[in-house]
Amino acid sequence: MQRFIQIIEEDERFPFVPEGTDVTFWLRRVTDEKTSEMVERHTRRITNKRTGASSSEIDWAAVARDRLDYALLDWSGVVGSDGKKVQCTRDNKLKLPSAVKSMILEALDNNAPSAGALEEEAKN
């Protein structure tokens, strides 16, 4: 069996199903360039008024929020407190429980689909 490394494509989508749930999150991988844009957008320059030295401060929480919003394209099985389905909007994405958001971000880093998995999916 041949093993491949897949190039990240802008229109790529893959499902992530948290264990023990009937929920599916449709994700896309985040390119290095897109991550750099997010980091730059949430970096501010700080100048020490006494010494004149400048440094950078990155709001990593804001970067994580942008990354989640960019990567999470759609979902099924997510409901509001009334039990009704909710749309996959930025506001609703940010209302997901912290543990779920962490699982999604971890899935982006660790569980991106392999070429073999994509080939199998294409056959079906």
- What are the extents of the domains in the chain? 14-123
Asked if 68 and 105 count as a contact pair (C-beta separation under 8 A), the reply is: yes
Asked if 108 and 29 count as a contact pair (C-beta separation under 8 A), the reply is: yes
* Structure confidence by residue, pLDDT tens digits, 77-86: 999 999 999 9
Say what the pTM is: 0.76
User: What tokens does 116 get?
Assistant: 């073999």
* Alpha-carbon span 92 to 2, nearest angstrom: 41
- pLDDT of res. 70: 96
